[in-house]
Amino acid sequence: MNMHSLILRTAGHFLLPLLLLFSVFLLLRGHDEPGGGFIGGLVAAAAIVLYLFSMDIQSARKVLRVDPRDVLGTGMVLAVISAIPGVFRGQPFFTAQWWEFTAPLFGEIKLSTVLIFDIGVYLVVIGSVLTIMLTLAEAEE
């Protein structure tokens, strides 16, 4: 899998944190503008995959720290749980709940169950793409 390219390896090191930051940006931007959990998750997964291509599987797993299947499971649980809070307010499942407050430095902040759902999707996409990629990469070796 290692392509032995100095350019790719150097670029991979620098691009990884940038791409991960960009994926979080896409995730948070997604509610009112283009972006969201799915595309953010794909960018994050692509960042790790780029790192995998430039280095090897062991270092890719190391930089990921956790097993991608755990990421997948956590994401799914988050996504399903985000459907529930509305029920406790006597509303149907999946009804969005909003909490607004102002914080110093940031100004007005809006938090919602939609964001939890999106984070869940973000993690599911990362988890499933990386499970597939790492399994394929391991099968090749």
Q: Which residues bind other proteins (CB under 8 A)?
A: 69-70, 72-74, 76-77, 79-81, 83-84, 86-87, 90-96
CB 116, min distance to other proteins, A: 13
User: Between 103 and 139, whose beta carbon lies closer to other proteins?
Assistant: 139
Helix axes 37-54 and 113-140, enclosed angle (nearest 10)? 30
**Closest distance of CB 140 from other proteins, Å:** 18
Find the shortest distance in angstroms from Cβ 21 to other proteins: 26
Distance CA 140, CA 77 (A): 31
Q: Which is nearer to other proteins, 9 or 61 (CB)?
A: 61
Smaller CB distance to other proteins: residue 88 or 99?
88
Dist. CA 138–CA 67, nearest whole Å: 14
Report d(CA 63, CA 71) in Å as an integer.
14
The answer to whether the CB of 63 falls within 8 A of the CB of 48 is yes
